[in-house]
Structure 1
Amino acid sequence: MPAKRSKTVTVAAPAAAHNPGVALRALRRQRGWTLAEIGARTGLPISTLSKIENGKMSLSFDKLTRIAQGLEVDIGELFSSQAPAGNDAFGGRRSITRAGEGYTIRTEHYDHLYPASELLNKRLVPIIVELHARRLDEFGELIRHTGEEFALVLEGAIELHTELYAPARLEAGDSIYFDSTMGHAYLAAAPGRCRVLAVCSGGEAHLREAMARQDLLRGARTRREDA
């Protein structure tokens, strides 16, 4: 992705407890870690972490995933107002996400809305994606992660690029199921709004790692272009 602007994260959350900066400070203090120790774990400067904790810096997806990995927590814990309660030990759990709820990651080239964000360690990860990138050079490196993926076009049209097949154009109502270890990218392929419901089986940790790798590669490429 050749973008020179940093991607920002906007979180739709009704209370300060859902703020990733607040969660970062609480988890850090709970574990008795300093900002320097968090910096060593995440690769982020102390000044950046301090600004995040104090709500003075917008989060890029790269920073968000680095923090989750450094703290060794599910990414949902950075947006949850409740501590994890061993959800996998209980049967019959459920989550209802009303229109406009969930947490949203808004970037220059896509928006991700995560329903059921309060459920940790989900076996299936649903994501509603609104696409802005229309070319592969905008999107950047192909994404790949463990598991399989189902995508249903909700609005507009998309073009799915993969490393093994020719690009596939899908219109509203069309769907595709594929092996998500295969590199892939969703691009907007029609004027106006293009939205997809993607359901991934790889688990949030794997998706988090895949997106983090993609952002790191983008950042490295941007630094080379700026040099």
Structure 2
Amino acid sequence: MPAMRSKHVTAVAPSAHNPGVALRALRRQRGWTLAEIGARTGLPISTLSKIENGKMSLSFDKLTRIAQGLEVDIGELFAAPAASGSDQFAGRRSITRAGEGYAIRSEHYDHRYPASELLNKRLVPIIVDVHARSLDEFGELIRHAGEEFALVLEGCVEMHSELYAPMRLEVGDSIYFDSSMGHAYIAAAPGPCRLLAVCSGNENHLRAALSNRYAIEAPREAQPHRLSG
């Protein structure tokens, strides 16, 4: 999903749902240095330090790189601590109320992740608010392992991909595609633009899903639990 470089970062207060807190705890637990984490994730030491200290908002790319480097499920980086062994039971479920879920803000998208407390998910649902209004503004197309389903909830989306002509999608329209193909969602009409995206893959793909190269900007105050709209 979404993406662009940015020079701006916003501090995020440490909390039980802050991936930086989990990153530092896991790193110290294993006796690893930031340099070792950097080698495992491909992320600069300066970036990792900012993440640990709550001075940088995170993209899903960085989350999955960190999860893969630490060899943990991505949910462990921003989920509330679960009771021991609770993820071993069948029949689990998660209810996310309107506006709830883990939030990540970037220059061209706002992401919200429902069911963030569930670990080892094979489906990654994401509520996406699209801000970029041209492909030039968006920048490089993104790609990641697995497949993706998107349903337009509000506004109008123009779906760009490297193999097909741009496709305009209205409210209620949906698209299912191979997400290893470069793609981008663009807001195609004035006003808010929101969609539901669901990324799928096997267990390993969930740790490396949406592995793209964008850096995050959070120009507005971070709201980790509620998003208006």
Same fold (TM over 0.5): yes
Matches within 5 A, 1:156-195: 156-195=155-194
Indicate the residue corresponding to 2:222 in structure 1: none
Name whichever of 128-137 and 70-79 sits farther off: 70-79
Matched residues in 1 for 2:3 and 2:103: separation? 23
Deviations 1:78-132 (A, max 9, x none): 1112158667742111000012211111011011111011112212211111101
Structure 1 runs of 4+ with >6 Å offset: none
CA distance in 2, matches of 1:177, 1:84: 35
Q: State the Cα deviation string for residues 171-218 of structure 1 (Å, max 9, x = none).
A: 1111222232332211110101000011122258536645333328x9
User: What's the CA shift string for 1:53-92, capped at 9, x where partnerless?
Assistant: 233x113425434322321222221111215866774211
Contact 1:9 1:104 (C-alpha < 8 Å) held by counterparts: no
Instruction: Give the secondary structure class of the aligned counterpart of 2:211.
Output: helix
Which residue is 1:58 aligned to? 56
C-alpha distance in 2 between matches for 1:82 and 1:28: 17
Query: What is the distance in 1 between the residues matched to 2:4 and 2:184?
Result: 17
Alpha-carbon distance between aligned partners in 2 of 1:4 and 1:149, rounded to the nearest angstrom: 23
Match status 1:107 vs 2:115? no
In structure 2, what is the Cα distance between the partners aligned to 1:82 and 1:205?
A: 22
CA distance in 2, matches of 1:147, 1:86: 28
- Give the partner amino acid of 1:41: R
Structure 1 residues 20 and 44, CA gap change in structure 2 (3 angstroms): same
What SS is found at the alignment partner of 1:127?
A: strand
CA contact (8 A) 2:4 2:138 kept: no
Provide the residue aligned with 2:7 in structure 1. Answer: 6
Q: Give the counterpart letter for 2:195 in structure 1.
A: V
Specify every segment of 5 or more residues in structure 1 that has no aligned partner in the other structure, as ranges. 219-227
State the Cα RMSD in Å: 3.1
Distance in 1 between residues matched to 2:65 and 2:10, nearest whole Å? 14
Paired residue for 1:116? 115
What residue number does 1:135 align with? 134
8 Å CA contact 2:146, 2:209 repeated in 1: no
Q: Percent identity?
A: 76
CA distance in 1 between counterparts of 2:167 and 2:83 reads 40
List per-residue Cα deviations over 1:5-24 (Å, max 9, x = no partner).
2365887x9x8211112111
Report the alpha carbon displacement of residue 142 of structure 1 after superposing the two structures with TM: 2.2
Contact 1:79 1:117 in 2 (8 A): yes
In structure 1, distance between residues paired with 2:27 and 2:109:
30
Between 1 and 2, higher relative CO (CA 8 Å, sep ≥ 6) is seen in 2
Aligned counterpart, 2:21: 22
Structure 1 stretch displaced more, 57-66 or 129-138: 57-66
| CA distance, structure 2, for counterparts of residue 128 and residue 161 of structure 1 | 18
Match of 1:40 in 2: 39
Q: Distance in 2 between matches of 1:212 and 1:9?
A: 22
1:147 to 1:84, Cα distance in 2 relative to 1, 3 A: farther
TM-score (norm 2): 0.78
Alignment partners' CA distance in 2, 1:86 and 1:142: 39
How many residue pairs end up in the alignment?
Answer: 214
Q: Determine if contact 2:79/2:116 at 8 Å carries over to the other structure.
A: yes
